[in-house]
């Protein structure tokens, strides 16, 4: 949870500057997304509430430019690095150390 707090604070400090996050997806592959934390576009989804505070929802602006479904989410526990406003936070992590919970599998 401490990692989540650090990441959320970093994002908040970026204001409306672009943030880039590199993380491991559930399948172990690596994804990089870029988003504006101040983006206020409506989130579309299933209507199911998000109870996991480690998950951050954002709109990948590269996908938004392509007119694709741009909403993404990432688990702070899987973040490798986060960049914004000329600063980088690195969190060395290996995919085999990531625990998959029963909630994620179902």
Structure tokens at 42: 């409506």
> Which pLDDT value is given to residue 106?
34
CA 74 from centroid of its chain's CA atoms: 3
Closest CA to 76 of 62, 58, 61, 60: 58
**pLDDT tens readout for residues 8-60:** 999 999 999 999 999 999 898 999 999 999 986 666 656 667 789 999 989 88
In terms of average pLDDT, the best of 2-16, 52-66, 91-105 is: 2-16
CATH code of the domain made up of 2-41+52-105? 2.30.30
Residue 68 has pLDDT above 70, yes or no: no
Between 44 and 106, the more confident residue is 44
């Amino acid at each position: 949870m401490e990692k989540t707090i650090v990441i959320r604070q970093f994002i908040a400090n970026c204001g409306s500057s672009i943030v880039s996050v590199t993380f491991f997806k559930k399948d172990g592959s690596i994804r990089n997304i870029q988003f504006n934390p101040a983006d206020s576009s409506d989130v579309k989804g299933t209507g199911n509430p998000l109870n996991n505070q480690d998950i951050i929802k954002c709109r990948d602006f590269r996908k938004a430019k392509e007119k694709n479904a741009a909403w993404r989410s990432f688990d702070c526990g899987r973040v490798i690095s986060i960049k914004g406003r000329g600063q980088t936070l690195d969190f060395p992590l290996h995919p085999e150390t990531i625990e998959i919970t029963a909630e994620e599998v179902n």
